[in-house]
Chain A
């Protein structure tokens, strides 16, 4: 059902903020685009400060640079309870490294094991083969690993696990590599309880898979829509193949594929947007009804016009510019979503699913600052708003999602991506790097910083940000990890041309950062919570992993996995 009537409710918090904003001239609060300029005082009630512009203000032209959203997350890669699994496609072996004892085992796993994922919290790993359509399941216990192999209909390169760990969905994500034997409509549901794989015919080009919280449904996200697999029914059947017709996220088959597709944790809805479209989609996965929410209608609401109650109170409004939904983020509990309206320097909080019906939306006015992306903390209580489009902007804004209070955070470099810790107490900001040689003689310190890669650690309670310049950029995909107790952040740095192989450790209580040189280029980073260790996988002949105990700082490296696995005891 398409909703044409929109009502926007300005929360009291937003009003308070709006008043504060009107008291402080936004242009006064702009963090200077000129990095030599004196920054503002950092007043927490200065929402205009950290955003603004080429001139610090929200863009009003269609020619503004694109927002580049880099998905990064604080969630560590899935690892076992105490085992780390390392695939070696060249030898067809997977090494199993016990993160507690450092004992190493090795098992044969297919022709070319390329992708390994571990059922969270257990020593069960699923190994996908890069050349052959089958999956190897490894189960480790007491130093022994049991191997079972299941046939698939097509090569897969991604696997996702259900929350209860029983189910996995394997599929080929075309955006992350090509495979001659990969199909366009293929996924497999793997029952890890019975070691059974069921082929699923899905929509075109699967790009993701999710489960509902009680592990009764799996959803495969495709360009055609969402394919649903009822897992209880699958468990009771003896089927070896199923067709899961995709439920479209658009009524018009000619529309571009949706982006930012998220499934609510209860598995009832899929939320999506399309690039360049002001209309948001909410698909009821039970009734298969598609609801839309056209945010341009916000501009038509009388209460949002000049002279309305909100405006009288200094409240925000949506101006006449073309509305650009530059980002759409689903809250971790699925209760709401944030739509970033870059064109209007605003964020709309949309309750789900009520926001697509009659429940009022809440507008968070960003006070004219340019925001193109938002990241919600895993606890759902804090969000970070920022832009990646203007390199002169060296700031972001924290949004308290309870009262919508804004806290500007002054940064020293432009933002590339932001991640928030589970409790929202810390943020990691990955920075952009401007063109030019940071070591060029004669340049000033600010230029050197701008030309360098780096990241900032942010204390969200005080808005303090510590800049750490790095010799090479941090990868947003697996380049960093935070420990479950939020005590440490680990960052891997790799640049083969410059022979950079480094692990940086940040103590998140003191913000002290230490460096550890690695012997080989780091390729993966993960956490083994049961033994309080972080592991750094390295690209070395025979394999190499360095473990760091974050409680003691002790490091331990294991390598030569195949040699180790051939040890006779």
Chain B
């Protein structure tokens, strides 16, 4: 990027200040981002937790929108909307009264998109934690706090609906042993009492609570994970849903707890009931995955150096030893060197493991152990980037500054070296390009995943982060240090220094505008 380009972008930002309607209070401080931005459609969203402000930066023209949010801004999560765009969900934890503000402020959930404020949901009391359902429809807020607060109070927000008397909905979750909710998992629609409904599973130490999102007025069902006197406590870590079953993986026990929904007797609060099945695992499982096999549903648990395949209908478990302790897997449909049939398969990997292992997911009861094929890499895997459309998976060896691109069908591995370390890799799935950066060098590497074409772009400053900003004209945004705000924007289709542009000074937009006034 030449100096002219730099001045051009600087000037762009400067001149736009006059056009920006900065919704700021008088005497506002410069925007001071609390962390890296989030990418919305055509925009970057920064938050300033200290001032409880959000800043939207339109990457097409540098236009900024600065929003004053409720006190205690602390968390930003992204939710997909209709599978096309993205909204940001922000939690403001609220504020205790102080000498400047006699009135306490309750927590709020704020919904933003690239145009600005979408909705604001006031909560009852103050809260510290925010979670979203996988589809982004619901927000779960917990972590009640304040001078006096009820620890097991939570709020559920339907983000697809406007704020109303019933939205958000505050609930006090049943607690068996003085526990406070640790989090929640939302189910997909499930067949319940003849209809399709979604459940909310609230996770607590040693138990879970199950609520019907269609009937939040009904009392929750509380399922203990331990019995009184059990020495080991269980912290629920993961919940999966399949059919009428909920699978709960917890720390502290060699089993997976299955919550089976059943038809409830009359007289109970819910119109469904729950019974429990324990599925044994080799050790404490670190991840669970549901498989649909010809023999019916199976649960695959990775438990240390074992893979446990469990039949939830009978409770039987088949365990096979693994080459390394794996914690996760990438599922894919494909062939193998010895089997031309396209079948469900997976690549097992683990953070820190020096190998990956292929496994066939069909007929796992009988063939799991025989289907295992270990690929020794000689380097520890730190991150996995699935490139399934290309039939590939990229394994990031950050400390060795290397990528291993695994061909899933051939089970061959192409080494890709990255100079001076590899601290961050970003997959641009739409354009099948992998972006690589190292904060220590002023270059951005990229790798075409189709033809393995490589390239690098010289930057004006060391990078700090990398983001894909989708929109009418998608860009790769490389963030840099800079009090005023500094980002380099690249065309992902033709990444080059010549076509790159930068935005600077957007953190000061309002400030300068006001000063000008």
Measured CB to CB, the nearest residue on chain A to B279 is A519
Contact yes or no, B313 A563, CB < 8 A: no
Q: Are B273 and A518 in contact (CB under 8 A)?
A: no
Known: A98-B265, A142-B267, A569-B264. 9 other contacts (CB 8 A): A101-B262, A101-B264, A102-B260, A520-B315, A557-B277, A558-B275, A559-B278, A563-B257, A569-B269
Q: Is the CB of B275 within 8 A of A569?
A: no
- Is A426 interfacial (CB-CB < 8 Å)? no
**Which residue in A143, A554, A559, A566 is a CB contact (below 8 Å) of B315?**
A559
Contact A103 B227 (CB under 8 A): no
Provide the bound-state CA to CA distance between A501 and B315, in Å: 12
Q: Indicate whether B196 reaches chain A with its CB closer than 8 angstroms.
A: no
Asked if B278 contacts A101 (CB within 8 A), the reply is no
Assuming the contacts A560-B277, A564-B276, asked whether A569 and B221 have C-beta atoms less than 8 A apart, the reply is yes
From known contacts A102-B260, A516-B314, A557-B315, infer whether A567 and B277 are also in contact, taking CB-CB under 8 Å.
no
Q: A142-B265, A560-B276 are in contact. Are A566 and B224 (CB under 8 A)?
A: yes
Q: Are B314 and A555 in contact (CB under 8 A)?
A: yes
Q: Which residues from 307 to 327 on chain B have a C-beta closer than 8 Å to any C-beta of chain A?
A: 311-317
Q: Are B315's CB and A546's CB within 8 A?
A: yes
Most buried by A among B226, B265, B270: B265
Q: Is the CB of B314 within 8 A of A557?
A: yes
The 9 closest A-B pairs by CB, nearest first: A143-B265, A519-B315, A568-B222, A519-B316, A555-B313, A101-B262, A557-B315, A564-B276, A560-B276
The distance in angstroms between the C-alpha atoms of A546 and B269, with both chains bound, is 27
Residue of A nearest to B315 (CB): A519
Asked if B260 and A567 make an inter-chain contact with CB atoms under 8 angstroms apart, the answer reads no
- The answer to whether A101 and B316 have CB atoms under 8 Å apart is no
Contact B262 A567 (CB under 8 A): no
- Chain A residues lying within 8 Å of B438, measured Cβ to Cβ, are none
Q: Which residue of B lies closest to A503 (CB)?
A: B314
A517 at the interface (CB under 8 A from B): yes
Residue with the highest number of chain B CB atoms closer than 10 Å, among A501, A555, A560? A560
Answer yes or no: A562 CB below 8 A from chain B CBs. yes
Q: Which of B257, B265, B276, B365 neighbours the largest number of chain A CB atoms within 10 Å of its CB? A: B276
Find chain B residues with CB under 8 A from A563 CB. Answer: 223-227, 257, 276, 278
**B28 on the A face (CB < 8 A):** no
A518 lies within 8 A of B265 (CB): no
Contact of B268 among A100, A143, A519 (CB under 8 A): A143
Chain B: minimal CB distance from A83 (Å): 12
* Inter-chain contacts of B365 with A (CB < 8 A): 517
Question: Is B313's CB under 8 angstroms from A567's CB?
Answer: no
Residues from chain B with a CB closer than 8 A to the CB of A104 are 275-276
Question: How many A residues touch B, CB cutoff 8 Å?
Answer: 35
> Does A542 belong to the interface (CB within 8 Å)?
yes
What are 7 A-B pairs at a CB distance below 8 A? A100-B263, A517-B311, A519-B279, A538-B315, A557-B313, A563-B225, A569-B270
B219 CB-CB contact with A under 8 Å: yes
Residues of A within 8 A of B226 (CB): 563
Residues of B contacting A568 in the complex (Cβ-Cβ under 8 angstroms): 174, 176, 221-222
Q: Are A518 and B227 in contact (CB under 8 A)?
A: no
Residue B273 contacts which of A519, A559, A569 (CB distance < 8 angstroms)? A569
Residues from chain A with a CB closer than 8 A to the CB of B311 are 517, 519
B314: which A residues are within 8 A, CB to CB? 516-519, 546, 555, 557
Q: Which of B176, B227, B275 is most buried by chain A, counting CB atoms within 10 A of its CB? A: B275
Closest to A536 in B: B314
Find chain B residues with CB under 8 A from A566 CB.
224, 227
Nearest opposing residue in chain B for A547, CB measure: B313
A518 near B316: Cβ-Cβ < 8 Å:
yes
Residue A199, interface by CB 8 Å: no
Q: What residues on A are CB-neighbors of B290 within 8 Å?
A: none
The answer for the CA separation of A563 and B248 in the assembled complex, in Å, is: 14
Q: In the bound complex, do residue B219 and residue A569 qualify as a contact, i.e. CB atoms below 8 Å apart? A: yes
Q: Which residues of A contact B317 (CB under 8 A)?
A: 519
User: Closest B-chain residue to A557, C-beta based?
Assistant: B315
Task: Report Cα–Cα, A473/B270, bound state, in Å.
Answer: 46
Interface string of B148-173 (1 = CB under 8 A from A): 00000000000000000000000000
| CB of A218, distance to nearest CB on chain B (Å) | 35
A519-B280 CB under 8 A given contacts A100-B263, A569-B273: yes
Contact of B277 among A98, A144, A559 (CB under 8 A): A559
The answer to whether B221 and A567 have CB atoms under 8 Å apart is yes
A-side contacts of B274, CB under 8 Å? 564, 567, 569
A102, B262: Cβ atoms closer than 8 Å: yes
Distance to closest chain B CB from A490 (angstroms):
14
| Residues of chain B in range 277-313 having any CB-CB distance to chain A below 8 Å | 277-280, 311-313
- A475 surroundings in chain B (CB, below 8 A): none
Does chain A have a CB within 8 A of B266? yes
User: Is the CB–CB distance between A103 and B265 below 8 Å?
Assistant: yes
Q: Chain B's nearest CB lies how many Å from the CB of A445?
A: 25
CB distance from A493 to the nearest CB of B (A): 14
A557 proximity list for chain B (CB < 8 A): 277, 312-315
B375 to chain A, nearest CB (A): 31
User: In the complex the two chains form, what is the Cα distance from A97 to B260 in whole Å?
Assistant: 13
Q: Mark A507-522, 1 if CB is under 8 A from B, else 0.
A: 0000000001111100
Do the beta carbons of B313 and A556 come within 8 Å of each other? yes
A542: B residues at CB distance < 8 A: 278
- Contact between chains at A556 and B224 (CB < 8 Å): no
> In the complex, which residues of chain A have a beta carbon less than 8 angstroms from the beta carbon of B263?
100-101
Asked if A544 and B315 sit within 8 Å, CB to CB, the answer is yes
A567: chain B residues at CB < 8 Å are 221-224, 273-276
